[in-house]
Amino acid sequence: MPLGTLDRAPPPFFRQGPSALSKLAVCSALALFLMVADSRFKVTQPMRIALGTVLYPVQWLALQPVHLLQVGGEYFYGLNSAQRSKEDAFKKLGLQSLKANQVEQLTLENERLRNLLDLRARMHTTGIADQLLYYAADPYSRKVIIDKGQLDRISSGAPVLDERGVLGQVTRVYPTVSEVTLITDRDHAIPVLNTRTGARGVAFGDTTSQTDAIELRYMAANADATVGDLLTTSGVDGVYPPGLPVARVEKVDRRVDTIFARIYCVPAALVSGASHVLVLEPLSDQVPPRPAPEAPAVKRNKRGEVQKP
């Protein structure tokens, strides 16, 4: 075959187009243009919405196995948790039944002993549910205003409680509202009883160490008080019924330069977050009045004349 008849052009398979660098530059410029256009003018938003709508069934089918595994795991975990909660509930129910039986027995024994010793029956108080309106504007006191007053038979000196313990005491009564001084007020004092040791003391509002705290004052430096002790009302003041939770001991500071210990306590009640309260009837309304002092005996002489002291 003559050499002039050969086709010297490369076959189509080996033909070279634009260089790789040119393709990279064009694609990069196009990508940059699309990013700018999408961020500024949202040109690809309809395309993205349409593509997401078309692919949603595929995504839903792909996620079903994972969803089934999660649901199955949560079901078995919830079943085990429910069984454990059921067992714990039965245990607590048994303990509560035992305590209830013991309380009934102790109540009967207490009543029999009181009848045997001819002691005065315990005083029972009634309460009025109330709502806290707002805190007093005085920054140097801890007082709140409740939405019931004289028209609702609220009396001055009535104890105020929340769902956790003693909150304070009614100090001023108006026709429709009343003012309650909290136990954390610096001018408030309440007789308390340490339930662990039976020691009595007086708790005062304390605003120097920290906010919403009380201090058990005038306790000896060697007094038996530890962190965690529960303080309740002693009932000796004729205002608060005995046994109401007041505070728990948080810190005991025993100093060598003083004969008294510094005992800081945290109130049991929500003095900063209470919204609904219970106003009790003061025990002073049920306590019999103090007997009048007896007049001194009159001494007379033999003639019947009154002798002067």
Give residue 289's pLDDT: 63
Distance CA 162, CA 180 (A): 13
166-173 vs 200-206, strand pairing mode: unpaired
Distance CA 154, CA 136 (A): 19
Tokens standing for residue 209: 């160490």
If one compares 151 and 12, the residue with the highest pLDDT of the two is: 151
Q: Is the overall model pTM greater than 0.85, yes or no? A: no
Give residue 297's pLDDT: 59
% of the chain exceeding 70 in pLDDT: 81
The confidence band for 51, taking pLDDT boundaries of 50, 70 and 90, is confident
Q: Of the spans 77-86, 206-215, 299-308, which averages the highest pLDDT? A: 77-86
If one compares 299 and 75, the residue with the highest pLDDT of the two is: 75
pLDDT at 2 over 80: no
Compute CA 10 distance to the chain's CA centroid, rounded to the nearest angstrom. Answer: 87
Distance CA 59, CA 45 (A): 19
The confidence band for 22, taking pLDDT boundaries of 50, 70 and 90, is confident
What are the φ/ψ torsions at residue 286 (nearest 5 degrees)? -105, -15
R_g (Cα) of the chain, nearest Å: 41
Give residue 269's pLDDT: 87
3-state SS, residue 187 = coil
Which residue from 153, 143, 146 is spatially nearest to 181, judged by alpha carbons? 143
Per-residue pLDDT tens over the stretch 243-283: 888 999 988 888 777 888 888 898 988 888 788 888 888 77
Q: Of the spans 52-56, 91-95, 143-147, 283-287, which averages the highest pLDDT? A: 143-147
If one compares 260 and 294, the residue with the highest pLDDT of the two is: 260
Partners of 204 in the β-ladder:
189, 215
Domain segments of the chain: what residues?
Answer: 28-120, 127-285
Least confident of 98-112, 191-205, 291-305: 291-305
If one compares 273 and 161, the residue with the highest pLDDT of the two is: 161
Fold topology of 127-285: Thrombin, subunit H (2.40.10)
Give residue 9's pLDDT: 59
Contact by Cβ (8 Å): 203, 214: yes
pLDDT at 169 over 80: yes
pLDDT at 231 over 80: yes
Q: Of the spans 77-86, 98-107, 205-214, 277-286, which averages the highest pLDDT? A: 77-86
Per-residue pLDDT tens over the stretch 145-154: 888 888 888 8
Q: What is the dihedral of CA 203, 204, 208, 211, to 10 degrees?
A: 80
pLDDT at 309 over 60: no
Give residue 290's pLDDT: 64
Which whole-number Å values give the CA distances from 238 to 20, 63, 81, 229, 249, in the listed order? Answer: 98, 69, 49, 24, 24
3-state SS, residue 19 = coil
Give residue 91's pLDDT: 84
Burial level of 142, CB count in 10 A (0-12/13-18/19+)?
A: buried
